[in-house]
Structure 1
Amino acid sequence: MIYLQLFISFLQVGMFSFGGGYAAMPLIQGQVVTLHQWLSMAEFTDLITISQMTPGPIAVNSATFVGIKIAGIPGAIVATLGCILPSCIIVTLLAKLYIKYRNMALLQGVLGSLRPAVVAMIASAGISILVNAFWGSAATISFQGTKWSLVVIFGICLFLLQKLKWNPIGVMVLAGVMKLAVSFAGF
């Protein structure tokens, strides 16, 4: 039964996550944290971090991670297949249709109208992760409960990425080093 739940959950993620891995994060969160409670919000944040650090698409890496945690290697295979199956089918069909109708104004209008929804899904996922990182959960947001060391690390990383155009991998490594230093310092 758990294999079927994993397959159907990640099949839904694969079917409705237009816009890539970041757009899939709220859908994955809805399935694994809210609906099935396979992971806590803290574990979900760790999942996103691990999925970004490992090669491959975030949604597929997330499916594999959740599948292994819930039902071992067979669970990872089932969840991953559920996640990629819709994409394989949809992309094949869309490629055929796009080649045939690529100059059609209606098609260009539909593609253009999907962009704002994708941006909103990415923003929702980002805000959810920031809230979890800085406060633990949305229910505990308060000035006193803010993890200021993480806010400072976030600000430094944002500055390095946006203003100094550092390599994201270098920024991730530096963020890890800064967090270790803060932990050892006792903050």
Structure 2
Amino acid sequence: MARQRDIFIAFFRSGMLGFGGGPSTIPLVQKEVVDTFQMMTDEEFADVLAIGNTLPGPIITKMAGYIGYRVGGWLGLINALIAAILPSVILMILFLATLKQFKDFDFVKGMSNGVIPIVAVMLGVLTWDFLKKSHKSLGWKVGGIILCVSIVGMLILKLHPGIIIAGLLLIALLLPIKKEERKE
């Protein structure tokens, strides 16, 4: 039962503090499940995130479902999903009921604008962590090529990120990188 409590707390906190949607919740989920409750390692979390990003739908619910199931079975899955979405449901009801009255106040506009740089820093830290992990598994050369292909695809060619992810997964399946090529 203590494990179910930990699952609920981890995803409830992430859901409560993850202002701005999926990308802002990813570092929070990582902090809870890897550091605080030690439900998985950084590498396992990176794998869950990679797989979750290839599937449609909100990232927090996919991660909550998988991690909850992995750690606590079917009850853990349901527990984690409820914990992940409950804060949004409660806050949406409360905020929508009061937002109409206060939307033109400067402090409300300031709160919204103040969160954007915080989320940017959190995503930057997460990106740096993933770059370091890709260096360990792929090396700088292959990781840099994948990074450049992704940037060119999204920013210059205006490809949807899902197409790039699917393409890179297909390439990874067809042309596996040999272990000796990874060391640089």
1: CA distance between counterparts of 2:28 and 2:65?
15
1: CA distance between counterparts of 2:131 and 2:10?
25
Partner of 1:142: none
Q: 1:147: how far off?
A: 4.5
Counterpart of 1:76 in structure 2: which amino acid? L
Q: Which moved more, 1:88-97 or 1:156-165?
A: 156-165
Partner of 2:98: 97
2: CA distance between counterparts of 1:181 and 1:171?
15
- The CA deviation string for residues 33-65 of structure 1, in whole angstroms up to 9 with x for no partner, is 112221111111111112212222111111111
Partner of 2:10: 9
Contact kept, 8 Å, 1:153 with 1:178, in 2: the verdict is: no
Q: 1:99: how far off?
A: 1.0
- The CA deviation string for residues 11-48 of structure 1, in whole angstroms up to 9 with x for no partner, is 11111111111111111111111122211111111111
Counterpart of 2:171 in structure 1: which amino acid? M
Superposed counterparts of 1:137-156, under 5 Å: 146-156=139-149
1: CA distance between counterparts of 2:42 and 2:106?
42
Partner of 1:132: 133
Counterpart of 1:175 in structure 2: which amino acid? L
Partner of 1:183: 176
Counterpart of 1:85 in structure 2: which amino acid? L
1: CA distance between counterparts of 2:130 and 2:177?
24
1: CA distance between counterparts of 2:93 and 2:101?
13
Counterpart of 1:160 in structure 2: which amino acid? G
TM-score, normalised relative to structure 2 = 0.89
2: CA distance between counterparts of 1:181 and 1:148?
19
Q: 1:96: how far off?
A: 1.0
1: CA distance between counterparts of 2:100 and 2:81?
28
1: CA distance between counterparts of 2:69 and 2:103?
40
Q: 1:185: how far off?
A: 6.0
1: CA distance between counterparts of 2:84 and 2:70?
16
Counterpart of 1:146 in structure 2: which amino acid? G
Q: 1:184: how far off?
A: 5.8
- The CA deviation string for residues 62-98 of structure 1, in whole angstroms up to 9 with x for no partner, is 1111001101111000011111111111111111111
Q: What residue ranges of structure 2 are gaps of 5+ in the alignment?
A: none
2: CA distance between counterparts of 1:99 and 1:33?
39
Counterpart of 2:135 in structure 1: which amino acid? F
2: CA distance between counterparts of 1:106 and 1:53?
38
1:118 aligns with 2:130: no
Tell me the SS of whatever aligns to 2:176. Answer: helix
Partner of 1:43: 44
Tell me the SS of whatever aligns to 1:183. Answer: coil
